[in-house]
Amino acid sequence: MASVSLQKGLLAAGVCAAMFAATASAQDIQAQRLYAQSLAATCANCHGTNGVSAPGATMPVINQLTSSAMYEQLQAYKTGARTGTIMHQLAKGYTDEQLKIIADVLGKKN
Question: Under the rule (CB under 6 A), what is the footprint of ligand HEC?
Answer: 42-43, 45-47, 59-60, 62, 65, 70, 73-74, 84-87, 90, 102, 106
Cβ 68 vs Cβ 33: under 8 Å: no
* 33 or 92: CB nearest ligand HEC: 92
Cβ 85 vs Cβ 59: under 8 Å: no
For residue 76, which of 86, 87, 85 has the smallest C-alpha distance?
87
For residue 71, which of 92, 96, 88, 50 has the smallest C-alpha distance?
96
* 5 or 95: CB nearest ligand HEC: 95
Q: How far apart are CA 13 and CA 72, in angstroms?
A: 48
* 1 or 109: CB nearest ligand HEC: 109
* 3 or 85: CB nearest ligand HEC: 85
Taking the complex as a whole, the smallest distance from the CB of residue 6 to ligand HEC amounts, in Å, to: 55
